[in-house]
Amino acid sequence: MFNVEAKAGSDTFGIVQSPFMLEKAKTKAFRINLSVKDCELNYHEVTSLHIYGKDFEHVDESILFRVKYDQS
């Protein structure tokens, strides 16, 4: 398993945003946890936003499965 995290304003792992995003829906932080086991990739991510004057967290998670394709 590994984790990745970025925060707005960080000198080392910051977040680059377009002028529109900075004005309307600024991303404050992002973190994702990934794990791989056999033929599965699991992820859980959280994006922290400041959108239209309010703080909001968007959460997404899923499990992806490797599918073997036989062309014969």
Q: Are strands 25-37 and 40-51 parallel, antiparallel or unpaired?
A: antiparallel
Each residue of 19-37: pLDDT tens digit? Answer: 988 888 899 999 999 999 9
- pLDDT of amino acid 70: 83
pLDDT value at 8 more than 80: yes
User: What are the domain boundaries of the chain?
Assistant: 1-9+25-72
Model confidence band, residue 69 (pLDDT cutoffs 50, 70, 90)? confident
- Which percentage of the chain shows pLDDT scores above 70? 100
